Structure formats: structure tokens, C-alpha cells
Structure 1
């Protein structure tokens, strides 16, 4: 009796397709044996942020999916990435990755020339002493930073509202003056 045993291996293939606004397929990229758990697009629409399980964040160009930057979770964090966020929206300079064990990893991104000199002030503001810092139990710090940012946003909103109110008042005065002028012209 002869028996052949064949080991069947399943290959995990993830396919990402990029379409333009007209619905025309622009590019398709396949990832074999990589567990892509999250995909995000940069605000400019030129970069794709891929979260590859268990702990890799890969930044690729949208046009050809060439990897331009890759970040690995620190070796002492074995927990998979559960969420990523990058920002601020105006100029992406920071990636925050949350892990299933509750760890938060902050990664400052380099400038276009590869330097991080521009980020020194941001690093000081966030209390990050190195390019990569593990932060555990700092929910209070994050809340304080969020409240400070919210306070600044409220002040800007209030100022904008005041300016808009003044502009509306001036516009009303101009319209009233113009209508008065037209009435006088029609009577005279």
C-alpha cells in the first residue's frame, strides 16, 4: 500500500485596489503572507499607511505601493497593533499606535530630507526624549494635552465668530446705506 501525503499550505493574499473618482481601476497591489489589518490614506492622498500584524507600520506611495518608510514596534512589546493614528492633519509628524495590551507607541516622523531637527520642539512639547518612546498609563497627560488643544481651538473659534459677526454687521450697514441711496435717487 502506497500513500502520498501532501502538505497543503494556505497562502494569505490580500489585494488592495486603487480606483480614481470616475471608478477606473488605477492600480492593484497584492500582499502575500502578510496580515494587513488596517489601511489608511494620508490627507494629501499620496501615501498609504498599512498596519501589518503583529507590529509593523508601513508607509507606501499610493501610485506604486513602494515602501518609503517602515516602523516596527519595539521588541519588548509582543502585543499586536490594534489601532493607529497619524497627525496632525495639517502636517503629519507623528504616528501613534495602540496595542492590544494597552501600550501606546509614539513615533516622530522625519522631515522630507530625513532630518528630525524640525521636530525638536514637538518632541519637547510631548515630553518625548527619543525618536521612539513607550508610554504606559499616561492617559492623564493625553487628556491634559487634548484639553489644552481644545481650549486653543475654542479661543480661535470665538475670535472667528467675533470677526464674522463684525463682518455681517458691516455688510448690513453697507446694504442699508445702498438701499437708502437708491430710494433717494428714485425720489429725486
Structure 2
């Protein structure tokens, strides 16, 4: 027997005052056709919206995990949460002016995330050492429950390397 569910048409991914949309900082997501945030993202999997927190410049997102993100019955797949954290950590570097690619990502899962949940993702740069950036981040419930945490090593690309990648898409 097939199980079907209707998708919410209007998922509220807004956030409170003190944040501005991060779109201008994250044009690379459209250019790179990100499977999470780009035009080919599946509407039943993950929906997200990025913001910049004005007080500290951290990247903050509101994310919804739909039925296409299922792992354990009724809950988000760990890979879907890791993908969101990968994008968040990398994008936190881009927002700060560092075009990067991931070299290492460590994710710890703290609680199961129920499907249909709108959660908050936060990411920031913990440390920088030359071209190496070390961002951290987490996915949180509105009540503060930590669903997952991540840290990573991201390498800043030269503008020439980034342009060469972008040229391949044209």
C-alpha cells in the first residue's frame, strides 16, 4: 500500500528581528546549482532560507525537513542533516568573504529530528589559519534541543580557481 502525504504549501521559514536575508552573500549556491538550496532542490525533501545575524555576522537558517528526507520512520535521515550542516558551515565562510570548499566535516547527532519540523541552523567561523577555515554549527529545535552539531575544515579557493569552476557551468 502506498503512503502519500500532502506537502504544506507555505512553510514559514522567517526569522525574528536582528537578521537580514543572506541571498546577496550566497550567489554561489545558485551558480553551483546546490541540491539543497538551488533551483533543482526537491520540494518534499528540504526547504531552507539563510539569514545573517546582524549582531555577530553568523549564518542562521530556517530549515524544514520533509518526507523525502526520511531516515528512521518519521524522522530526518542523518545524511540530510549532515548535508544541511555542510552547506551551513561552508556558507558561513562565504558570508564572511571566503570562497571555500570542504576538506573535512565531522557531524555528531544528538537527537532524532521529526519530519515536518522547522528548525534553526547556525554556523560561524571558529578559527582561521591562512587559507584554512574552521567553522562550527548546529541544528536546533525552537525549544533549544540540539539535533546535530558539526565542525569542519574548509579551504579558501583563489579567485582564479573559483572562476575556473564557474566557467565550466557556462
TM-score by length of 2: 0.32
Q: Which has the higher contact order (CA 8 A, sep 6+)?
A: 2
TM-score by length of 1: 0.30
Structure having the larger proportion of residues in helix: 1
The structure number with the bigger radius of gyration is: 1
